[in-house]
Chain A
Amino acid sequence: MRNGSALRGGRLWPVHLVLAIGAAAMVMPFFWQVLTSLKTFTEATRTPPVWIPSFEWGNFAKVLDETPFLQQLGNTVVMTTGRTLAQLLFCSLAAYAFARLRFPGRDVIFVALLSVLMVPGQLFLIPQYQIIQSLGWLNTLPGLIAPGMFSAFGTFMMRQFFMTLPAEVEEAARLDGANPLRIFWSVMLPLARPGLLALGVLTVLWSWNDLMWPLIVNTDPESMPLSAGLSALQGEHMTDYPVLMAGSLMASAPIIVLFIIMQKQLIQGIAFTGSK
C-alpha cells in the first residue's frame, strides 16, 4: 500500500491528533459526570466551573438512602440474567434445528419468525402489557423478564453461526446413534461458544439498558430496574445535578466494566450483525 518505513515512527502523529480530539469528545461528558458527582450543589452551579471538587461522597450516599438503589440493582441483575440465559438456550436450541435438521415447514416457519424483525416494537407492546397484566405479573420480576426471553434476532444469529460449523463431527456422532438433542448439547454447543458469547454480551447490554418495557410494566420503585429507577430519580431531583450524576454513574458503571472485560466478544457480535 504505502511504503513501510515511512509509516513507522513520527509520520502517524496527525492520525493520533485527530483520533485524540474525537476521543476527547467521547470521554469529556463522562469526565464531567464523574467530576460533578463529587461536587456539592454550590460547586456544581458555579461559573467558571470548579475543576477540583471537594469530594462530596454524600451524593452517592443520598442515592442509596433515598431510592431503593440496591433493590433496583438486584432487579436489573435478575432481569438481565434471566433474559440472557433464556435467549441463549431457546435461540440456540431452535437455531440448531433450523440449521441442521430436516422437517416439513422448516423454512416457512423460520421466515415467519424473522418477520418479527421487520415490525416496529410498538406493535407488540400493548398486547404484551395485557398478557403480563392478565397473568398478574405487573410489578414482578417475571413480568419484567418474560417477553425478552425470546428473540428472532438471536435465533438468526445462532443459525448463521451453526451453518459455519463443519458437518463431519456431527455426522460421526449421529452414526454412533446419538440423538439430535444430545448432539446439540454435547457436540455443537461447545463448538458454538464464540457465537453464544457474542449473543450473550449483546443481550446483556440490551437488557441492562432497556427502558421502555420496564416503564410500562413495573411502575413501583421497588420492582423497577435501574434504567426506570434513574428516570424516577430524575423526576424527584430535577435539578440536584451532583446526585443525578452520582446515580447515573452507579447505574451504568457495572455494564461499562463488563464491556471493558468482554470487549472482544461485543465487538465480534456487532461486526457480525454488520456482515449479514
Chain B
Amino acid sequence: MSTAGRAVAVKAAARPATRRRLRDRDWVWGYAMIAPLVLGLAVFYLWPVVQSVYYSFTEWTLFGDATWVGLRNYEQLFTDPANGRALRNTFVYGGLSLLGIPLSIAVAALLGTRGLRLVSLYRTLYFLPVVTMPAAVAMIWTWLYNGDYGLVNYLLSLVGIHGASWIAEPSTALYALVAVGIWTQIGYNAVIFMAGLQSIPSHLYEAASIDGAGRARQFFRITLPLLSPSIFFVSVLSVINGLQMFDLVYLMLRRGNPAREDTQTVVSLFFSRAFEEGAKGYAAAMAVVLMLITLVLTVIQFRVQKRWVHYA
C-alpha cells in the first residue's frame, strides 16, 4: 500500500469505533454489490477475449474441436485478397463518415439560434433515422436506391440525370452505403454538438461583438475551438462505428448482389467466416487484427488531438 493509502488507514483508525466498523463492513457489501455485474462481464466479455485470442491460433473441425496451428491463420489473413478489400472498404467507410460532422455542427448551430421556434419539432425529425431499426433503414434505402423504380433515380431524372443501380454496382455501392450511414448519424451527432454549444459561455460572444467581430468570425474564433472536445469525441466515435460497419452491409448487399464481393467490410466478412462458413479460428484472427487496428487508430487520434483540441 502507498504512503497515501497508509495515511488513509491511519485516519480511519482514529475515527470513532462505530464509524470504523461501518467502513470495514463496506468490504463485504462492496464485493456483494459488484458481484453479479463482475461475474456477468467476466463470463460474457473478459474471458471471451482471452479465448478468442487463443482461438486465433487454432483451426476448427466440423465437430468443433480446435487444434493448434500456430500463426497459420494470420499468414492466411495476409494472403487472402478479400481481406485487403474489406480493410480498404472499412477505412473508406470510417473516413468518409467523418463528412457527417460538419453537417451535424451546422444543424446544431442552427438549432441553437436564439429565439428560434419549432426547435423540438426539428430535433424530432432529425432524430427519426437515429431511432429507426437499422434493418428497416436498410430496407427503405434499398428501395430508394432501386435502379428502375427508386425515388432517388426518379428525383435525379427530373434534373436530367440518369441514375445508376446504386447498391448493385461495385463502383457506387460503398458510397451509397456511406450516405445512408451519415444520414442515420446526423441527428445523434447534432445532439452531442448542441450540448457542447450550450456549454460555451455567452459573455465570450458579447465581448467579441463589442470588439466588432462578425458572426462568421465568432464562429471560427470562438465556437469551433470551444467545440473541439465534442468534435474530437464524435470523430473517435465515427471512426469506431465505421470500423464496426455491419448491419447495412449485411442487409443491403444480399447474396446475389453483384457489388457484394467488392463491398464487404471487416465485420461483415468476420460474420460470414465465423457463423456462415464455420471458420472460427480464422475469424478469431480477423477479430484480433481488427482490435489492434482500432487500438492504433484510437491512439493516433488521441495523440493528434493535442494539436487541435482545446479543453477549456
A and B held together in a complex: yes
Question: What are the residues of chain A within 8 A of B120 when measuring CB–CB?
Answer: 263
Q: A27-B125, A45-B148 are in contact. Are A256 and B31 (CB under 8 A)?
A: no
The 6 A-B pairs at the shortest CB distance, nearest first, are namely A150-B40, A274-B192, A127-B48, A103-B30, A248-B136, A271-B195
Interface of B is mostly: helix
Once A and B bind, how many residue pairs between them come within 8 Å at the CB atom? 289
Report 14 cross-chain contacts, Cβ distance below 8 Å, ordered by A residue.
A15-B110, A45-B148, A45-B149, A49-B151, A93-B33, A94-B34, A97-B30, A119-B49, A179-B29, A209-B132, A209-B135, A245-B143, A248-B139, A259-B131
The stretch that binds A, out of B69-77, B93-101, B289-297, is B289-297
Of A29, A44, A45, A123, chain B has the most CB atoms within 10 Å of the CB of: A123
Q: How far is the CA of A45 from the CA of B115 in the complex (A)?
A: 45
Interface of A is mostly: helix
Q: How far is the CA of A89 from the CA of B75 in the complex (A)?
A: 45
Whether the pair A97, B134 counts as a contact (CB closer than 8 A) is no
Residues of A participating in the B interface, judged by any CB pair closer than 8 Å: 1-2, 4, 7-8, 12, 15-16, 18-19, 22-23, 25-30, 32-33, 36, 44-49, 89-91, 93-94, 96-98, 101-104, 106, 109, 112-113, 115-116, 118-129, 131, 146-147, 149-150, 152, 155, 174, 179-181, 184, 205, 208-209, 211-212, 215-216, 226-228, 230-231, 234-235, 238, 241, 244-245, 247-249, 251-252, 255-256, 259-260, 263, 266-267, 270-271, 273-275
B128 contacts which of A27, A123, A245 (Cβ < 8 Å)? A27
**Using an 8 Å CB-CB cutoff, how does the interface string of B104-130 with A read, 1 for contact, 0 for none?**
001100110111111010111111110
Question: What are the residues of chain A within 8 A of B128 when measuring CB–CB?
Answer: 26-27, 30, 256
Q: From B298, which residue of chain A is reached at the shortest CB distance?
A: A118
B contact residues, range: 35 or more
Residues of B participating in the A interface, judged by any CB pair closer than 8 Å: 22-23, 25-27, 29-34, 36-38, 40-41, 43-49, 51-53, 55, 106-107, 110-111, 113-118, 120, 122-129, 131-136, 138-144, 146, 148-149, 151, 154, 183, 186-188, 191-192, 194-196, 202, 205-206, 209, 215, 230, 233-234, 243-244, 246-247, 250-251, 254, 267, 270-271, 274-275, 280, 283-284, 286-288, 290-291, 294-295, 298
